[in-house]
Amino acid sequence: MLCPKCKVEMNERIGDYHYAESGLDNVVLADITIYECPKCEGKAPSIANALGLHDHIAKELIEKKSLLTSREIRFLRKELGLKEVELASYLGVDKVTVSRWETGGSNIDPSYDRLLRLFFIHKKMGAATGALALFGKTIQKEPEINEIVIRSDLIQATVA
């Protein structure tokens, strides 16, 4: 594989990759092929099923016990293919409110957090796929400090 920046042949290795491209700070792809440029030191992961990967990340976010963070809210909105104003309309809030949630200007209220999760499940995963499980969960106000680690076999296994 050639480096898109330098046009130099990239080296290939297996390792863990911090998937910053997701927009989330805590996503690590474990044991995947990573291409590294010896000249500019650029890195590129080999992701065979990016859509499946994003579905898996979304599932992890929907099932977490703490309130969604600003970046997680933005990730879910983008996965739905919605603009801030569209999500605001669906949730019954102002566009400014969604913007503040996504920039960290204000925290999402637990009731809107739950509504966003249920809306995502309904739109993306189908209403019956996990909504009942979410009703029994208590969403904590303090965010958990955790990391989403996704093994390469999970990414491959989600290929439809």
Q: What is the pLDDT of residues 16-46, one digit of tens each?
A: 999 999 999 989 999 999 999 999 999 999 9
Between CA 56 and CA 106 the distance in angstroms is 27
In the chain, where does DSSP find H-type helix?
50-63, 70-80, 84-91, 95-103, 110-120, 131-135, 152-157
The domains of the chain are located at: 12-52+146-160, 65-143
Is it the case that residue 157 has pLDDT exceeding 50?
A: no
Q: What is the pLDDT of residue 34?
A: 95
User: What is the CATH class of 65-143?
Assistant: mainly alpha
DSSP string, 56-94: HHHHHHHH-SBPPPHHHHHHHHHHHT--HHHHHHHHTS-
Residue pLDDT, tens place only, 46-101: 998 888 899 889 999 999 999 999 999 999 999 999 999 999 999 999 999 999 99
Is it the case that residue 139 has pLDDT exceeding 60?
A: no
pLDDT class for 116, splitting at 50, 70, 90?
A: very high
Q: What is the pLDDT of residue 146?
A: 54
